[in-house]
Amino acid sequence: EVQLVESGGGLVQPGRSLRLSCAASGFTFHEHAMHWVRQAPGKGLEWVSGINWDSGSTAYADSVKGRFTISRDNAESSLYLQMNRLRSEDTGFYYCVKEKWMVVAGGWFDPWGQGTLVTVSS
- Residue 105 near another protein by CB under 8 A: yes
| C-alpha of 75 from chain center | 18
- Residue 108 near another protein by CB under 8 A: yes
Shortest Cβ 13–another protein spacing (Å): 27
CA distance 19 to 90: 13
First to last CA, the chain: 39
Shortest Cβ 110–another protein spacing (Å): 4
**Among residue numbers 60 through 89, which ones bind another protein (CB under 8 A)?**
60-62
In degrees and rounded to multiples of 5, residue 71 shows phi and psi of -150, 170
- Residue 101 near another protein by CB under 8 A: no
